[in-house]
Structure 1
Amino acid sequence: MTDIQTNLFINGQYVPSSSGETLSIYSPNDDSLVSDKVQVAGEKDVDNAVAAAKKAFPAWRDTAGHKRAAIMLKFADLLEANIDKLAKLESAAMGQPVSVAKKMILGPVALWRYYAGYSGKVAGESFPPDEDGTYKIVQYEPIGVCAGICAWNGTHVLAAWKMAPAMATGNTFVLKSSEKSPLAACAYGDLLNQAGFPPGVINVLTGAGPVGSMLAHHMDIGKIAFTGSAAAGRAVMAAAAKSNLKHVSLELGGKSPALIFDDADLDNAVEHSSTSFLRNSGQICFAASRVLVQESIAPKFIEKIKDAFSNAEKQMGDPSLEDTAFGPLADKKQFERVMSFLTGAREEGVQVLVGGERLGDKGTFVKPTVFLNPDINSKVYKDEIFGPAISVRTFKDEDEAIELANATTYGLGSTVYTNDIARALRVAGKIEAGTVGINSAFNTSPQTPFGGFKQSGYGRESGPEGLKEYVQPKTIHINMNVGKK
């Protein structure tokens, strides 16, 4: 690809890294070099970005809500207008099929428009003096400089979840993209300027873990939102505690269950346990990778899911082509991680129903894989693979299904398939997860919060709850008895 932006975006301008360090991006499709000039932010660059955001904060906070909204809406329009370019950049960097990448840009477009509607509309509360003679006011104020660290599997979605509510509430921002998928985020700078964001309001940095660590430790950042692994999330939380006790929200992945009862529409359950699950090569944090099927329908389901995964393999290919449904894994490191799970499963004696191998001799393609009845202590059953692999196990009744579903340290997503609405709601209420899909793989919405229970993190993104992550309440008491005669 030509005309790829690789610089840092600080205070409204593209600048090279102060350290001169760069990282290389190789195509997960064919191992070819995409760019070796992606700038890696050093400590000076992080300080400059935070300083720019800090300087821009007072004016942005005081900008009228309707003016902030207009800028946000313009940015959403620009994202939509540049969807082809941004999708190609995402695809080139981490192998996401362009058809999928476009859908994962349209979602953020809706998010920016949704939160633009909240700009200037975050109301406070008041309480009458009653007997104590004190009039009470609660107002919600922006935190200040906020930062976001994105995972690589959905750059635009994760960036919008973090930046859009921060913008609506008058905060300023420093965004760090993943080192695996930095190219589309690097392109944001021009769009931010065209939209009319003042210099310093949003800054975009690239780099790996050390850059994220500098943000998490920074004394002038008031809030950090992180999406990624549990280990990295713990490090962010520890850094926040050791520095200035900044606000933290964490989304740390999952090992989500799908519960398929004997009265479910079987073809629908198969569709969402295969095509929907594989739409980003299984690289979706809330994808249901533990598929639990009621015993009486298990034989029929197993045959259907086997056929579905075999057919999906035939639809894998060059992610830059519009008709490609499923692409490679993000990079060689992720490929090796997933392959280690597949190799380990074979060594443990786990039955592989279909897949379980590399596809082709170039790129980072892995055949869609189904494990059958792995032991509950098997790594492929209990650990997050983050690849195109599911484990199928059976259950006898509702109680056992719920017990199996909750037997995990994670609690991000879940899915229930049944035609009994009472059962669906009953089971949904007992599943220990932040999100539940009924008769469909879970899909996010701008209107509803997203986040997890247990070790899937805490805090929420999207919906009104996501807005609350970027404000802090201030209580004001007024003595109404002063001057009373």
Structure 2
Amino acid sequence: MSFKQELFINGEYVSSSSNETLTIHNPNDDSLVSDKVQAASEADVDKAVAAAKAALPSWKATAGAKRGAIMLKFADLLEANAERIAKLESMCMGQPVSLAKKMILGPVALWRYYAGYAGKVAGESYPPDGEDGTYKIVQYEPLGVCSGICAWNGSHVLAAWKLAPAMAAGNTFVLKSSEKSPIALAQYGELLNEAGFPKGVINILTGDGKVGALLASHMDIAKIAFTGSAAAGRQVQIAAAKSNLKRVTLELGGKSPAMIFDDADIDNAVLHSSDSFLRNSGQICFAASRVLVQESIAPDFIKAVKVAFENAAKKMGDPSLPDTAFGPLADKKQFDRVMEFLKDGKAEGIEVLTGGDRKGEKGTFVQPTVLLNPSLDSKVYTDEIFGPVISVRTFKTEEEAIKLANNTQYGLGSTVYTADIGRALRIASQIEAGTVGINSAFNTSPQTPFGGFKQSGYGRESGIEGIKNYLQPKTIHVNMNLPAKAKK
């Protein structure tokens, strides 16, 4: 399969000015996907930002209806090419092609959602109040040149969260894909041109953390949205503050809890704690990896979830096959990270209910793993593993469950399983997390904001909050007390 692997700058595919390239291996069998993926240099970053800056006045002035029409055309093209792009995503980071296609069609809906906002960003007005004599206007304007850095586990969703609202608001953009999964996003350039985006409005770069650091510190970028690890997010924030105080949105890690009460539908709770959790091989930032189960139902739940994880292992395999449910981890580095967590857990004496080892002789497959009763300070319980591993602990009361759930530095996701909707909503209001799923693993939606509390970051993507992050208010006061001029 042929594919684009160059940088997309000012409406054209170009090679890196430094001739630096990235090598991508298929995590299913370690076969070479490409060793010619172009990696951006500092000069390339400057060129992309300059192109976005030059395109800004015209794009900002483009009628909202026209911007929306271009966005809708891009959504149509993305949908039409979903099969091909999904195969490229699967080749690079091991995502089953069936899931990869769904994670492209979701962004199609996001593009269409935000296209509806183009030209519909309303302002506010306030008449004179008492004797102040001032008519007040608030209008919302685009920020300017914006930038986004995507993580590798959901490239297209993350790209849409960043690009689509920025486009609807009239900004221009420089997007950086992850060095682990750059090829699928690189195909966007052809679609952007066909959709009618003017040159320079969207630019797509590939590279490692050095490219991200250049974007975070660039003096001509007004806002940066980052998705990735907490450590890298801190560096983005520091670079933004040290440069031009650009605005920052951070969506970082998670160690999300699932609370399963004794009145819950156990089969449903098991399903979402196994198959739903294991989608993308557990490489989802808001996946509920800390499973808290009320004592009275713990034996039944543990027995059932063990079977579910063992069955999931049988559905793990070649991600290019349409019936594969679970694939390998993204690359050797991620595989080694997860295996190190499991090694440490075993050394601590934590009981491994099932899994706990690699699967197969090649590729980066890890057996779906259930750990029982790790200590509260164990790394497998406190740190984000980002793999197919859950920890199960028990609780006695609702108060204890909430305390355990909130006992984390993160606050991205959470889930509550109970037949009592009053209890579910009561708990949801007390959980320190940006998202709560009730009787289901949390799923994102174009209509609702996504983001975290505490060290899971700040700012929101998706929903109306998503477009607010790409707008800035301007206040205009009109003095209404000038005396009328005498007629001549």
Give the alignment's TM-score, normalised by structure 2: 0.99
Give SS of 2:356's match.
coil
Q: What amino acid is the match of 1:48?
A: K
1:453 aligns with 2:453: yes
Aligned residue for 1:307?
Answer: 307
1:58 aligns with 2:52: no
Aligned residue for 1:48?
Answer: 47
Alignment of 1:386-425 (within 5 A): 386-425=386-425
Aligned residue for 1:93?
Answer: 92
1:269 aligns with 2:269: yes
Aligned residue for 1:13?
Answer: 12
Aligned residue for 1:124?
Answer: 123
- Alignment gaps of 5+ in structure 1: none
Alignment of 1:79-228 (within 5 A): 79-130=78-129, 131-228=131-228
Q: What amino acid is the match of 2:286?
A: F
Give SS of 1:277's match.
helix
Structure 2 CA distance, aligned partners of 1:107 and 1:480? Answer: 49
1:483 is displaced (CA, Å) by 3.0
Give SS of 1:394's match.
strand
1:481 is displaced (CA, Å) by 1.0
Structure 1 CA distance, aligned partners of 2:360 and 2:348? Answer: 25
Q: What amino acid is the match of 1:19?
A: S
Question: What is the identity percentage for the equivalent residue pairs of Structure 1 and Structure 2?
Answer: 78
Superposed CA deviations along residues 262-311 of structure 1, whole A, max 9, x for unmatched, are 00000000000000000100000000000000000000000000000000
Q: What amino acid is the match of 2:293?
A: V
Structure 1 CA distance, aligned partners of 2:26 and 2:249? Answer: 32
Structure 1 CA distance, aligned partners of 2:461 and 2:308? Answer: 33
Superposed CA deviations along residues 108-161 of structure 1, whole A, max 9, x for unmatched, are 000000000000000000000122100000000000000000000000000000
Q: What amino acid is the match of 2:338?
A: V
Alignment of 1:252-291 (within 5 A): 252-291=252-291
Q: What amino acid is the match of 1:339?
A: M
Structure 1 CA distance, aligned partners of 2:448 and 2:484? Answer: 48
- Alignment gaps of 5+ in structure 2: none
Structure 2 CA distance, aligned partners of 1:438 and 1:208? Answer: 37
Structure 1 CA distance, aligned partners of 2:253 and 2:197? Answer: 32
Count of aligned pairs: 484
Q: What amino acid is the match of 1:438?
A: I
Give SS of 2:163's match.
helix
Give SS of 2:425's match.
helix
Structure 2 CA distance, aligned partners of 1:120 and 1:387? Answer: 42
Structure 1 CA distance, aligned partners of 2:356 and 2:86? Answer: 29
Structure 2 CA distance, aligned partners of 1:140 and 1:390? Answer: 44
Structure 1 CA distance, aligned partners of 2:53 and 2:122? Answer: 24
Q: What amino acid is the match of 2:218?
A: H
Structure 1 runs (4+) greater than 3 angstroms displaced? none
Q: What amino acid is the match of 1:99?
A: S
Structure 2 CA distance, aligned partners of 1:163 and 1:424? Answer: 34
Structure 2 CA distance, aligned partners of 1:275 and 1:106? Answer: 20
Q: What amino acid is the match of 2:69?
A: A
Superposed CA deviations along residues 348-385 of structure 1, whole A, max 9, x for unmatched, are 11110000000011000000000000001000000000
Aligned residue for 2:69?
Answer: 70
| RMSD of aligned alpha carbons | 0.5
Q: What amino acid is the match of 1:437?
A: G
Aligned residue for 2:33?
Answer: 34
Structure 2 CA distance, aligned partners of 1:102 and 1:8? Answer: 23
Alignment of 1:326-365 (within 5 A): 326-365=326-365
Superposed CA deviations along residues 11-42 of structure 1, whole A, max 9, x for unmatched, are 00000000000010000000000000000000
Structure 1 CA distance, aligned partners of 2:12 and 2:122? Answer: 34
Structure 2 CA distance, aligned partners of 1:175 and 1:361? Answer: 36
Aligned residue for 2:426?
Answer: 426
Structure 2 CA distance, aligned partners of 1:464 and 1:10? Answer: 29
Superposed CA deviations along residues 398-450 of structure 1, whole A, max 9, x for unmatched, are 00000000000000000000000000000000000000000000000000000
Aligned residue for 1:247?
Answer: 247
1:484 is displaced (CA, Å) by 3.5
Q: What amino acid is the match of 1:109?
A: V
